[in-house]
Amino acid sequence: MSETKKRNSFSGSIGFVLAAAGSAVGLGNIWRFPYLAARDGGGIFILVYLILAITFGYTLLTAEVSIGRKTKQSPLTAYGVVSKKFKWIGVLAALVPFIILPYYCVIGGWVLKYLIAYIQSTPAEVAVDGYFTGFITAETMPMIMLFVFLFMVAFVVYRGVNSGIESFSKVLMPILLVMVIGISCFALTISHTDAEGVTRTGLQGLKVLFIPDFKSLTAETLARTIVDAMGQLFFSLSVAMGIMVAYGSYVRDDANLNKSINQIEIFDTAVAFLAGVMIIPAVYAFSGREGMNASGPSLIFISLPKIFAEMGGAGRFLAIIFFAMVLFAALTSAVSVLEAVVSSLMDQFGFSRTKATIIESIIALALGVVVNLGYNKWYFDFKLPNGDVGQILDIMDYISNAIFMPIVAIAECIMIGWVVKTTLVSDEIEKSGDKFGRKNMFIVMIKFIAPVLLAVILLKSLGVVKFN
Ligand code: PHE
């Protein structure tokens, strides 16, 4: 029987939870959450983030998983089934993973390169100035890494929902968790004396992460903290990119959705916190407060390698575990991005899984090559509306994350809150006979609060409102 006729499903709740958590736990948890928490007043950010996770984040995740399970359709086709008028959301929601996949695989290739580098070379060699720039601007190496990373991702998706995505996540996610916990424990034992004779410890660094900094709290810093936490959470849960609709469509009707959604959130938030415990103490001990100004690629590809190099013998071992862990996080996220596009091609055009996977992988490879050329032959600086300057990768990231995602999420809130009504979601959650505990909160959030919060995120991305 052709795969397009019978829809696959996850074998049980655990498979779904780990696959969705695999999508949610990604580079954002590791390279952005710790930085934002340290910058935005430590405990204050953490508290704001937690409150938003159980309200705002929960609402969006619940809405998307329910749309998926109810329609049993891919992102591209699901929204039109819910409401004809909102079919266009599906197009945008499927475009987001289509745009993200190429550059996410480019970054996945960078992670792979660093893992290999630490297996082959000493931490001192990887920490030399210009190592990262030298690598990403090279002609062939980034292309090879992109290809290998994309190939692994495509292989998992090609194997299907059960033997591919589910089995892969069931193996990788528990290992990832153990690795993150292990590195976090190690980070807390660090103590370092710098050239001026000042000793700082990992435990002192931990305070920067968790103790609220009320001294620098003003109305403006609080506003910035809230907007940062919202943006981070939104990205971290992989909502508004079609993924949770696609994964929701593979959940069985008798599964307790509410419970699974809570577990996904707990997993994602726990890994974000642990990433903070892993990174902030180490950065603080070795580089002090100033060292915490790095986030994103410069944090993990430039700042951390310098710390690994200073750690002596343990540095190399730790670096290998760290980059293997980041690779796992990136792989499971990339798998979910590819699946969102592949399922869309299958449902819209009736392609087989194999055909859809091959077509989309070739397109992603071609676009990934363009992204790589953006650091090399086609290098240029582009000023984005939010004030950042970037290359092709950053432009694609900006369009998908900063513009399309908030629009998808706002439209989704309007569709569910006002047009098709919230019973679509509550019926879906209660279908298995389980309780929808936060139903009233969900209704208030999706109708009123979430769209307003999302509008603020959108205005900030467009550079209309600024928080300093
Ligand atoms: N949720 C992932 C993270 O926090 C990000 C992600 C981006 C996942 C794109 C899938 C696709 O890093």
Length in residues, the chain = 468
Give one DSSP letter per residue of 181-242, joined into a string: HHHHHHHHT-EEE-TTS-EEEHHHHHHHHHS---TT--HHHHHHHHHHHHHHHHHHTTTTSS
Give one DSSP letter per residue of 15-56, joined into a string: HHHHHHHHHHSSHHHHHTHHHHHHHTTTHHHHHHHHHHIIII
Protein residue closest via CA to atom 10 of ligand 1: 333
pLDDT at residue 401 above 50?
A: yes
Give one DSSP letter per residue of 350-410, joined into a string: ---HHHHHHHHHHHHHHHHHHHHHTTTTT---EE-TTS-EE-HHHHHHIIIIIIIHHHHHH
Question: What is the distance in A from the centroid of ligand 1 to the CA of 234?
Answer: 10
CA-based max dimension of the chain: 71
Residues 6+ apart with CB under 8 A from 440: none
pLDDT at residue 4 above 50?
A: no
- Taking the CA atoms of residue 355, residue 349, residue 9 and residue 148 in that order, the dihedral angle to the nearest 10 degrees is 30
**Residue 243 in contact with residue 23, Cβ under 8 Å?**
yes
pTM beyond 0.85: the answer is: yes
Residues 6+ apart with CB under 8 A from 383: 389
Phi, psi of 6 (to 5 degrees): -105, 125
> Given pLDDT bands bounded at 50, 70 and 90, which one contains residue 345?
very high
pLDDT of residue 3: 42
434-443 pLDDT tens trace: 999 999 999 9
pLDDT of residue 5: 53
173-216 pLDDT tens trace: 999 999 999 999 999 999 999 989 999 999 999 998 999 989 88
**Structure tokens belonging to residue 110:** 């960078």
To the nearest whole percent, how much of the chain has pLDDT over 90? 91
Give one DSSP letter per residue of 75-94, joined into a string: HHHHHHHH-GGGHHHHHHHH
Residue 260 Cβ inside 6 Å of ligand 1? The answer reads no
> Given pLDDT bands bounded at 50, 70 and 90, which one contains residue 65?
very high
Measured from the CA of 24, which atom of ligand 1 is nearest?
A: 1
**Residue 391 in contact with residue 465, Cβ under 8 Å?**
no
Mean pLDDT of 323-352: 98
Question: What is the distance in A from the centroid of ligand 1 to the CA of 333?
Answer: 6
CA 463 to mean position of chain CA atoms = 23
Question: What is the distance in A from the centroid of ligand 1 to the CA of 195?
Answer: 38
Measured from the CA of 272, which atom of ligand 1 is nearest?
A: 4
Question: What is the distance in A from the centroid of ligand 1 to the CA of 191?
Answer: 32
Measured from the CA of 28, which atom of ligand 1 is nearest?
A: 12
Residue 240 Cβ inside 6 Å of ligand 1? The answer reads no
How confident is the prediction for the chain on average, in pLDDT? 95
pLDDT of residue 223: 92
